[in-house]
């Protein structure tokens, strides 16, 4: 197998060379264009998930028989209603409206013979997307299968369109190149090809034996050529299935410098799931609602969902587990949970004891229907259990495979440093992330927690980024929202922002930036947080699809430096000793971690 892979890689190098792929269209013929790297890896993975859904539905994928020969490529045909699901990117294309989408799957040894689309009446372009292993695509002439033709390399993510004068050109796939699918495209082997086409056959059937009558009025050649030109323009962004998929390479971040786990900027928080056992004011999202939120998040590129065993005393984990089980798509999500809070009446039903952690990890995994957690947090400090016991238990869970990574939540900086010291001394696997309470109006974490994490290579994952709704614009000086908001239905005792006037000043600044940025207040609050030193990922909760969609818009919002400074200057943390002393007398020898807070302090002197 190793020899075969090396041979395939050598042949790929000979065929495609080692030059970088550019997005400038390649035009092999009049009315045809190849655009390399049209789709991002996230978009490709999204389409692979859609393909898995299409082929598991009522219309099976099949190998069609043509003139007595069974095709090696397998196909599923999707009609008009499935076109949005096929990933058609809507843009101005002279009323170009496909009526059929074909999704083909090629095994590594599959081929597609040279053929014409003779039965289709329209000369409007075929729009073709490639995902997975690269292939050699042969694009020929309109007269026969022989030369002249051009062999084109189609890589994963490439777009190929042909119409007008090239619509009836013979074309086919002569070879699949195994082991060439890029990591992250969602396909380990084989190739998926999705084509959208305006056939002109909607409600029309050609009588057997009668000649095909082209309908030039349906899609004139000049319209087709213009459509090809528009479709061949490299997009700044694409919209697949209604979810914005940015081409920004910052869509995925490393969770921390001390681990290789890559995550999206936002994590879906499941604290609103269930709504029971004293957490009714947080939300009542049921399984159907949770499934909808997971789908929206996944389609927008979110890679992680966060829950805890104490959320509704396990009900949130149960709801999340049932929602995750509803689709194979959700297997791609990273799942994190937490342990520490009191979840029962027994003397060991809380804390960081080995007994409690081992008891709760099994119950959490059972409720979630998973055999491991991707990230497991110690939810709160336990000053009575030796840290050697807590860190040793987390180390054992990592080594057993029940958890991949772990972190700490709501630790002070000295508690974090002590935990790291214990791990260093005993050779335990170290925590890689911290969850902290942090938003534009509550910035205590900037004093020690974030600088310590920066210094030690720990990623910071803020929770309550909009202050339980205070920073969304729903709460104003002169009015409160109607029943249904968290701080109206609940007592809000877990929100520690005593100076409400400061909150309203922050909201005013967020609103000012939002108006200039054509964004919502929530989006600006989240986008600001994503600019902060050490912040690698932010947890966002939602009760409704509308709330989640609003929050997800923050990932495509870029704030100007002046916008960031305006928000930052509105509610800086008060100057505390020794920060003012260091800002005054030690600013000539500051490290990166020091500057994360000293810069803020110095601006107030």
**Domain check: are 272 and 229 in the same one?**
no
What is the rounded CA–CA span in Å between residue 602 and residue 586?
A: 11
Q: Rounded to an integer, what is the distance from CA 516 to the centroid of its chain?
A: 27
pLDDT for 466 equals 94
Do 231 and 295 lie in one domain? The reply is no
CA distances 361 to 308, 339, 404, 416, 604, Å, are 11, 8, 13, 22, 46
Residues 42 and 172 in one domain: yes
pLDDT of the residue at 215: 38
Mean pLDDT for 267-284 is 92
Q: Does residue 4 or residue 326 have the better pLDDT? A: 326
Q: Tell which wins on pLDDT, 217 or 456.
A: 456
In a domain, 210, yes or no: no
Structural domain range at position 444: 262-559
Q: How far is CA 534 from the centre of its chain?
A: 20
Residue 238 sits in the same domain as residue 168:
yes
Residue 361 and residue 390 share a domain: yes
Catalytic, out of 311, 377, 438, 447: 311
Element of type H or E holding 316: helix 315-324
39-48, 240-249, 588-597: the lowest-pLDDT one? 240-249
pLDDT, residue 103, reads 87
Residues 30 and 150 in one domain: yes
Compute the C-alpha angle 243/244/247, nearest 5°. Answer: 140
Cα torsion through 354, 357, 359, 362, rounded to 10? -130
Q: To the nearest 10°, the Cα dihedral for 440, 446, 452, 457?
A: 30
pLDDT at residue 178, as a whole number = 87
| Per-residue confidence (pLDDT) for residue 99, from 0 to 100 | 67
Is residue 582 situated within a structural domain? no
- Residue 283: pLDDT band (50, 70, 90) is confident
303 lies in some domain? yes
Q: Is the per-residue pLDDT at 596 higher than 80?
A: no
Q: What is the mean pLDDT of residues 217-230?
A: 37
pLDDT band at 94 (very low <50, low <70, confident <90, very high): very low
Q: Per residue in 41-75, pLDDT tens?
A: 888 888 888 888 777 755 567 776 555 556 788 88
- Whether residue 483 is found in the same domain as residue 554: yes
Q: What is the mean pLDDT of residues 593-600?
A: 69
For 304: left if phi > 0, alpha if psi spans -120 to 50, otherwise beta; the answer is: beta
**Mean pLDDT of the region 502-518:** 93
Q: State the number of CA atoms in the 13 A half-sphere of 309 facing the CB.
A: 28
Average pLDDT of span 459-469: 94
Return the pLDDT at 106.
93
What is the CATH classification number for the domain harbouring 519? 3.20.20.100
Least confident of 91-100, 246-255, 360-369: 91-100
What is the percent of the chain where pLDDT is above 70? 77
Q: What is the pLDDT of residues 560-589, one digit of tens each?
A: 889 999 999 998 887 788 887 887 788 778
**At residue 20, does pLDDT exceed 60?**
no
Look at the chain and report how many structural domains it folds into: 2
Residue with more model confidence, 350 or 40: 350
Provide the terminal-to-terminal Cα distance of the chain, rounded to the nearest Å: 66
Residue 527 has pLDDT above 90, yes or no: yes
Q: What would you measure as the largest C-alpha separation in the chain, in angstroms?
A: 93
459 and 511 in one domain?
yes
Between β-strands 150-154 and 134-139, what pairing exists: parallel, antiparallel or unpaired? antiparallel
Decide if pLDDT at 90 tops 70: no
Indicate if 40 and 177 belong to the same structural domain: yes
Q: Among 199-203, 261-265, 305-309, 571-575, whose mean pLDDT is lowest?
A: 199-203
Does 579 reside within a domain?
Answer: no
3 state SS of 512: helix
Q: 324 with 412, same domain?
A: yes
On whether residue 52 sits in a domain, the answer given is yes
Over 70: is that where the pLDDT of 475 sits? yes
Q: What is the mean pLDDT of residues 112-126?
A: 82
pLDDT tops 50 at residue 213? no
Region 157-177: mean pLDDT is 91
Judge whether 149 counts as a catalytic residue.
Answer: no
pLDDT on residue 77: 77
What pLDDT is stored for residue 199 in this prediction?
65
Give backbone dihedrals phi and psi of 58, rounded to 5 degrees, phi first: -70, -20
Question: What is the domain-level CATH number for residue 240?
Answer: 2.60.120.590
pLDDT-based confidence at residue 427 (cuts at 50, 70, 90): very high
Residue 510 lies in a domain: yes
Same domain, 456 and 326: yes
The pair phi, psi for residue 579, each rounded to 5°, is: -65, -40
* 384 or 494: which leads in pLDDT: 384
- What sections of 401-520 are H helices per DSSP? 413-426, 449-456, 486-489, 500-517
- Give the chain's mean pLDDT: 81
pLDDT (average), residues 94-111 = 76
Q: How high is the pLDDT of residue 586? A: 81
Same domain, 163 and 269: no
CB 602 within 8 A of CB 583: yes
Question: pLDDT confidence of 76, banded at 50, 70, 90?
Answer: confident
């Amino acid at each position: 197998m190793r020899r075969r892979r090396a041979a395939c890689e050598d042949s790929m190098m000979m065929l495609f060379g080692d030059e970088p792929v550019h997005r400038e269209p390649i035009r092999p013929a009049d009315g045809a264009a190849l655009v390399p790297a049209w789709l991002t890896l996230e978009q490709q993975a999204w389409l692979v998930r859609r393909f898995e859904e299409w082929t598991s539905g009522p219309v099976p994928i099949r190998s069609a028989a043509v003139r007595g020969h069974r095709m090696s490529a397998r196909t599923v045909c999707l009609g008009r209603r499935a076109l949005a699901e096929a990933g058609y990117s809507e843009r101005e294309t002279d009323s170009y409206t496909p009526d059929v989408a074909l999704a083909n799957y090629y095994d590594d040894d599959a081929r597609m013979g040279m053929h014409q689309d003779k039965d289709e009446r329209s000369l409007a372009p075929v729009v073709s997307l490639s995902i997975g292993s690269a292939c050699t695509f042969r694009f020929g002439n309109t007269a026969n299968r022989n030369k002249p033709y051009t062999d084109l390399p189609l890589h994963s993510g490439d777009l190929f369109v042909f119409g007008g004068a090239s619509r009836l050109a013979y074309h086919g796939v002569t070879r699949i190149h195994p082991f060439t699918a890029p990591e992250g495209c969602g396909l380990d082997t084989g190739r998926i090809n999705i084509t959208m086409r305006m056939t002109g056959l909607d409600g029309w059937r050609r009588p057997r034996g009668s000649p095909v009558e082209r309908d030039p009025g349906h899609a004139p050649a000049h319209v087709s050529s213009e459509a090809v030109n528009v479709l061949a323009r490299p997009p700044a962004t694409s919209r697949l299935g209604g979810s914005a998929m940015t081409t920004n390479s910052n869509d995925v971040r490393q969770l921390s410098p001390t681990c290789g786990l890559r995550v999206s900027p936002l994590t879906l928080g499941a604290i609103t799931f269930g709504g029971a056992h004293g957490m009714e004011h947080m939300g009542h999202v049921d399984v159907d609602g949770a499934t909808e939120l997971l789908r929206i998040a996944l389609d927008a590129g979110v890679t992680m969902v966060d829950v805890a065993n104490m959320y509704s005393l396990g009900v949130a984990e149960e709801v999340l587990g049932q929602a995750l089980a509803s689709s194979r798509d959700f297997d791609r999500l990273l799942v994190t949970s937490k342990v520490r809070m009191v979840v029962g009446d027994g003397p060991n039903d809380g804390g960081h004891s080995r007994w409690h952690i081992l008891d709760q990890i099994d119950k959490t995994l059972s409720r979630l229907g998973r055999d491991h957690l991707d990230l497991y947090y110690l939810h709160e400090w336990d000053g009575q259990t030796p840290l050697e016991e807590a860190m040793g238990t987390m180390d054992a869970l990592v080594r057993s495979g029940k958890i991949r990574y772990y972190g700490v939540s709501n630790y002070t900086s000295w508690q974090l440093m002590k935990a790291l010291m214990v791990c260093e001394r005993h050779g335990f696997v170290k925590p890689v992330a911290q969850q902290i309470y942090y938003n534009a109006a509550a910035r205590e974490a900037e004093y020690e927690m974030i600088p310590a994490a920066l210094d030690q290579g720990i990623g910071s994952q803020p929770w309550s980024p909009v202050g339980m709704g205070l920073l969304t614009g729903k709460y104003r000086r002169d009015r409160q929202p109607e029943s249904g908001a968290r701080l109206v239905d609940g007592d809000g005792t877990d929100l520690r922002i005593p100076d409400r006037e400061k909150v309203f000043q922050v909201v005013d600044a967020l609103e000012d930036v939002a108006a200039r940025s054509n964004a919502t207040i929530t989006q600006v609050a989240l986008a600001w947080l994503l600019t902060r030193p050490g912040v690698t990922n932010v947890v966002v909760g939602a009760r409704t699809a509308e709330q989640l969609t609003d929050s997800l818009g923050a990932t495509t919002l870029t704030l100007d430096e002046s916008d960031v400074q305006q928000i930052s200057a509105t509610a800086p943390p008060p100057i505390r000793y020794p920060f003012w002393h260091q800002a005054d007398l030690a600013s000539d020898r500051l490290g990166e971690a020091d500057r994360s807070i000293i810069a803020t302090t110095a601006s107030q002197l």
